[in-house]
Structure 1
Amino acid sequence: MTHREFIEIAGARLEYQLLQPQGSTGPTLVLLHEGLGSLELWKDFPTQLAEYCGSPVLIYSRQGYGRSSPVRLPRALDYLSVAGPDELGRVLDSLALGQVVLLGHSDGASIALAYAARRDPRVSGVVVLAPHVDVEQASVEGVRRTVNAYARGDLRERLRAYHGENLDGAFRGWSETWLHPAFAKWNLHQALPCIQVPLLAIQGRDDEFATPAQLQTIACEVGGNCQTVLLDDCRHFPQNQARDRVLTLVAGFMAKLPR
């Protein structure tokens, strides 16, 4: 079982884990999970990341996920660009972290980008895996396929082990947001030019929830130095499906940041 601790933030109890390998230095990597993710669903990636980069790593489950407090539904349609970043800022404050590098996957990548646009001086850089900066038809179709799998019961039972009593709230909070007709207008186009710190954006060429247009938009609109990488033979989970390549890319990115 994953060792976890809890912090109280704005009336919510969030589970977290802070990995500090012996001799680790530099900014703390803060991991932001995807729309159906949690602390435990990162599995062994955080441990490998900490060892590979020689950096501390913080993982937490957002409210409504994992063993964190439940969240009231429906979620606001601007959750990825407002409530999620607000919560992240409170986590950084509560744990009194110094310099950090945000590493987000999918919905967590959107939160990382939105927070970086706020120009918190603690943020030294950003890494995003399978990011979303606007709503594509591929994303909506991917969510619909996932809803069908959940209704059949197989996905539901796999996720139950990670979310417990938060299971239905986590799934509905994600799927009902992405499938809401008004959510089609959500985007980060105004936020991207505000990001001035170094950025690494990674996506699988066969991502079933987005097209390479996401990387192209980031490269064109972000305000600071940006590297984009499109990985062959990889779908929506680069940290699992192309792990060695991702670890190498992130370690190289971290090594170039000012110390």
Structure 2
Amino acid sequence: MPEISEKEHWIESPGGRLFAKSWTPREPGSPMPLILFHDSLGCVALWRQFPRLLAKALNRQVIAYDRLGFGHSDRRTDILSKDFVAVEAEQYVPLVCESLSINEFIVCGHSVGGGMAVWAGASLPRQCKAVITIAAQAFVEDRTLAGIKVAEKEFETPESMSRLTRYHGDKAEWVLHAWIDTWLAPAFADWSLDAGLLALRCPQLTIHGEHDEFGSLEHPRRIAGTHGECRVLPGIGHNPHRECPELLVEVIERWLSSPGSASA
């Protein structure tokens, strides 16, 4: 297995600095890195061992960054717009690419980060060569909202907020409300990934856990559509990168090694 070096990066944006981290094999087999997008409560640290495992298995650089307001990135106090998923891809991904001298890339996102990965592929078609989604939502579903309401109750306990603070510091309250308040807002009820999926042209892999508590199997079916590949992981919930990281890496590696998946 290739030796992996880790490096931290700071990326300037109009709203503040973004924290990023890269995992790079000593002799990468491809010059095309894979960029990770975290979920609604996530950050670089919460990917845990997954980026390193991925970099080793794929023998290519893996990059993850904390969105503005999350993890080590600078704080924000604004309310997320209804189109924040598309905005992340359109406004921040080019900054990451410019700062890290990235010309072409593959994207992989978890949960709402999967939607951002789709929009990165749709809005940057020349640079983005493949899209991978993990437990992504394609629309606002009752099951998604029910899962968020359960989580909202859980975060009323000091222990749950303490865990969130461990990763986001004094930004934890904003992170929590940016998730809950956005998704439960009546104005967000008709949000969907449809426009991004319609514009997407590159190869696409959709991965979903059989027992995902935040989304039924209708989500991966809709995201994969007629041209993407869909993989449902038996017995797995919403967090495959924590529940079965080795299996998840294997699924991604096999797909990227297959013909037509932009594995260059």
Instruction: Tell me the equivalent position of 2:252.
Output: 250
Between the aligned partners of 2:138 and 2:88, the Cα distance in structure 1 is 16
Which is further off, 247-256 or 141-150? 247-256
Alignment of structure 1 residues 234-249 onto 2, 5 Å: 234-249=236-251
Task: For 2:147, give the aligned amino acid.
Answer: G
Task: For 2:231, give the aligned amino acid.
Answer: V
Between the aligned partners of 1:219 and 1:43, the Cα distance in structure 2 is 27
Selected match of 2:52 from 33, 47, 54: 47
Instruction: Tell me the equivalent position of 2:210.
Output: 205
Asked if 1:17 corresponds to 2:21, the answer is: yes
Structure 1 length as normaliser, TM-score?
A: 0.94
TM-fit CA distance, 1:211: 0.3
Task: For 2:241, give the aligned amino acid.
Answer: Q
Extract structure 1 runs of 4+ deviating beyond 4 A: none
Selected match of 1:215 from 212, 220, 223: 220
Between the aligned partners of 1:91 and 1:202, the Cα distance in structure 2 is 25
Between the aligned partners of 1:152 and 1:16, the Cα distance in structure 2 is 30
Selected match of 2:195 from 184, 190, 209: 190
Between the aligned partners of 2:90 and 2:136, the Cα distance in structure 1 is 15
Between the aligned partners of 1:79 and 1:239, the Cα distance in structure 2 is 24
Between the aligned partners of 2:224 and 2:48, the Cα distance in structure 1 is 30
TM-fit CA distance, 1:3: 5.8
TM-fit CA distance, 1:258: 4.8
The runs of 5 or more residues in structure 2 that have no matched partner are 1-5
Between the aligned partners of 2:19 and 2:124, the Cα distance in structure 1 is 26
Instruction: Tell me the equivalent position of 1:36.
Output: 41
Between the aligned partners of 2:217 and 2:236, the Cα distance in structure 1 is 12
Q: Is the CA contact (8 Å cut-off) linking 1:85 and 1:112 kept in structure 2?
A: no
Between the aligned partners of 1:157 and 1:258, the Cα distance in structure 2 is 40
Same amino acid, percent of matched pairs? 26
Q: Deviations over 1:215-236 (max 9, x none)?
A: 1112326xxx411011111000
Between the aligned partners of 1:107 and 1:258, the Cα distance in structure 2 is 24
Q: Is the CA contact (8 Å cut-off) linking 2:210 and 2:235 kept in structure 1?
A: yes
TM-fit CA distance, 1:72: 2.3
Instruction: Tell me the equivalent position of 1:5.
Output: 9
User: Structure 1 residues 37, 55: closer, same or farther in 2, change over 3 A?
Assistant: same
User: Structure 1 residues 89, 102: closer, same or farther in 2, change over 3 A?
Assistant: same
Between the aligned partners of 1:250 and 1:97, the Cα distance in structure 2 is 21
Between the aligned partners of 1:116 and 1:145, the Cα distance in structure 2 is 32
Selected match of 2:119 from 114, 122, 134: 114
Q: Deviations over 1:139-178 (max 9, x none)?
A: 1111111111111222211111110121111111111101
Q: Is the CA contact (8 Å cut-off) linking 2:205 and 2:224 kept in structure 1?
A: no
Secondary structure of the 2:155 match is helix
Task: For 2:148, give the aligned amino acid.
Answer: V
Instruction: Tell me the equivalent position of 2:154.
Output: 149
Instruction: Tell me the equivalent position of 2:3.
Output: none
Alignment of structure 1 residues 40-119 onto 2, 5 Å: 40-119=45-124
Q: Considering only aligned residues, what root-mean-square deviation do their CA atoms show, in Å?
A: 1.5
Structure 2 length as normaliser, TM-score?
A: 0.92
Which is further off, 3-12 or 101-110? 3-12
Q: Deviations over 1:89-121 (max 9, x none)?
A: 221122220221101000100111112111431
User: Structure 1 residues 165, 239: closer, same or farther in 2, change over 3 A?
Assistant: same
Q: Is the CA contact (8 Å cut-off) linking 1:9 and 1:91 kept in structure 2?
A: no
